[in-house]
A and B are shown apart, each in its own frame.
Chain A
Amino acid sequence: MKKLINKAEDVVREELEGIELAHPDLVKVSYDPAYIVRADAPIKGKVGLVSGGGSGHEPMHGGFVGKGMLDAACPGAVFTSPTPDQMLEATKAVDGGAGVLHIVKNYTGDIMNFEMAADLARGEGIEVESVVVDDDVAVKDSTWTAGRRGVGLTVLMEKIVGAAAEEGRSLKECADLARKVNGQGRSMGMALTSCTVPHVGKPSFDLPEDEMEIGIGIHGEPGRTRMKVEPADKVTEMLLTPVVEDLPFKAGDEVLLFVNSMGGTPLIELYIIYRKAVHMLKEKGIKVTRHLIGPYITSLEMAGTSITLLKLDEDLTKLWDAPVKTAGMRWGI
């Protein structure tokens, strides 16, 4: 394993120390329990937005804490859900009296830990709502599985709902908005290489030099199929077609197209994928009116990409365009 780390067990703490030193204008960092919170939290009368998950997906979630997005983020160990004590303290730290919304990606551990945290917070008199993101069409949504995973759409939800909370919408309005975003966004990802969790020291899965995994999760969980590597245009088709067909997105729809890097794939390749995706959508009469391109929800150093489509309307577009000032996403300010 070659990594720019010191000791594997210090990775998350030392990352937090770096964030604290880099962004004192945006965030404060708590180490025990670990969470990142807006520098100006709690904001009186504003719904608090808390998310969290395993580390290793940077900039998500910690990089999305700031004005117009999250109020707090709880980092777990790499690829491991954070714990209820972190979520409870983060929830208390952002409670400005208007309630707190938990944005939870659909993984067994995240769901259980956030459920326990929400129970504890309600016990302390804080109004808490939870919204689950499950946008990954690579996984069949069936009662026989843990359900679709929460992936790229999480980033878009945190931005859009963050803007809504910033403009003073109520807890119920924010929760309904988050569910609406979840209802009209879909994603799918792929990997060219595996990734290595620092404290494990070995690749999470083995992928031969000439093969790729279609439908990969953000923790290296396997997807639909493994096959020989294909050109970018073919891979874009393999990802975008199931995304479009699942919702389904239809002619006349206006969408946000998010082409994400899993960490190891450079921008030059993301633009090649973006170009093909726009062409494909145009042929179907679907208009890309907003986009996001870059590494926003990563899987350590994994090479690969994911494509997320979100159907927009006037409200969602306005909220997407609203000012945001975080370490990982910044415009309009």
Chain B
Amino acid sequence: MAISRDDVVTWIKNYAQVINENNEMLTDLDREIGDADHGANMNRGFKAVMTKLPASEDKDIGTVLKSVAMTLLSTVGGAGGPLYSTIFMEAGKVIGPKMEIGLADWYTALQAAATGVANRGKALPNDKTMLDALYPAVDALKRAVDENLPIPEALQVSAEAAHAGMLATIPLVAHKGRASYLGERSAGHQDPGATSTFLLLDTAAKAWADC
């Protein structure tokens, strides 16, 4: 089975909905250790994505993802803007002009996304960032590809790994972004970026459960 262009579009639309529903929760997490704007910024960005998506949703997957990236870059702002834009841009570049993708494509796309985010943000694992949800998801996906798991199962495993990574940010001391100003006081709080990244992968697992 495969993930079609329409499945990708559904994932993006569903994520916009999920961000809207979790706007306040993400902002509250950011208020604890950042500057209380992560939910609002993401929501502004994905509302703009919803407005602009119709212009590209009949194109190939790479084009859809890149247009999402450009919209996020010009509407989210903060650190989240360039970082989330990078996820969609790098994934879009790797996937290119395909109309459907398999699990191995999704793995390479997500891996490129993680590398792009690491380069842009210059963060390392356990710095208490979105990478702490992204890296475990990519690793889990790699194992799923090696084991030839069906797509829904592989995505489920990957989302669960992101969830565990997100929870594992709670005791960490932040080394990047505004949370790093808190030093030791940043421990004990869940990272908002890791949370929105988990939601992104969880939404994929749910949207593509029948792929």
Nearest neighbor of B176 in chain A, beta-carbon distance = A146
Contact of A107 among B41, B82, B120, B178 (CB under 8 A): B178
Residue among B78, B120, B121, B176 with max Cβ neighbours from chain A (10 Å):
B78
Interface string of B180-203 (1 = CB under 8 A from A): 111101000000000000000000
Q: Report the separation of the CA atoms of residues A84 and B31 in the bound assembly, to the nearest whole angstrom.
A: 25
Residue among A77, A78, A149 with max Cβ neighbours from chain B (10 Å):
A77
Q: Does A76 contact B (CB under 8 A)?
A: yes
Contact of B74 among A84, A107, A112, A199 (CB under 8 A): A84
Query: Given contacts A84-B74, A144-B175, A197-B36, is CB(A116)–CB(B82) below 8 Å?
Result: yes
Nearest neighbor of A143 in chain B, beta-carbon distance = B175
Q: Does B132 contact A (CB under 8 A)?
A: no
Contact A109 B77 (CB under 8 A): yes
Q: Report the separation of the CA atoms of residues A145 and B181 in the bound assembly, to the nearest whole angstrom.
A: 6
Query: Given contacts A108-B177, A113-B81, is CB(A83)–CB(B183) below 8 Å?
Result: no
Contact A205 B181 (CB under 8 A): no
A-B contact count (CB 8 A): 103
Contact B40 A83 (CB under 8 A): no
Contact B36 A204 (CB under 8 A): yes
Contacting residues, chain A, for B78 (C-beta < 8 A): 54, 76, 80-81, 109
Contact A108 B73 (CB under 8 A): no
Query: Given contacts A33-B74, A109-B78, is CB(A204)–CB(B35) below 8 Å?
Result: yes
Apart from A76-B77, A109-B81, what 7 extra A-B contacts exist at CB < 8 Å?
A: A79-B35, A107-B178, A144-B180, A145-B181, A204-B31, A204-B35, A222-B185
- In the complex, the 9 A-B pairs of residues with the closest C-beta atoms, listed nearest first: A109-B78, A145-B180, A109-B79, A80-B77, A112-B82, A108-B79, A85-B74, A219-B35, A80-B78
Chain A positions within 8 Å of B, measured between CB atoms, are 33, 54, 76-86, 107-109, 112-113, 116, 139-140, 144-146, 149, 197, 199-200, 202, 204-205, 217, 219-223
Chain B positions within 8 Å of A, measured between CB atoms, are 27, 31, 34-37, 40-41, 44, 73-83, 120-121, 175-178, 180-183, 185
In the assembled complex, 5 residue pairs joining A and B whose CB atoms fall closer than 8 Å, in A order, are A76-B77, A79-B35, A146-B176, A202-B31, A202-B36
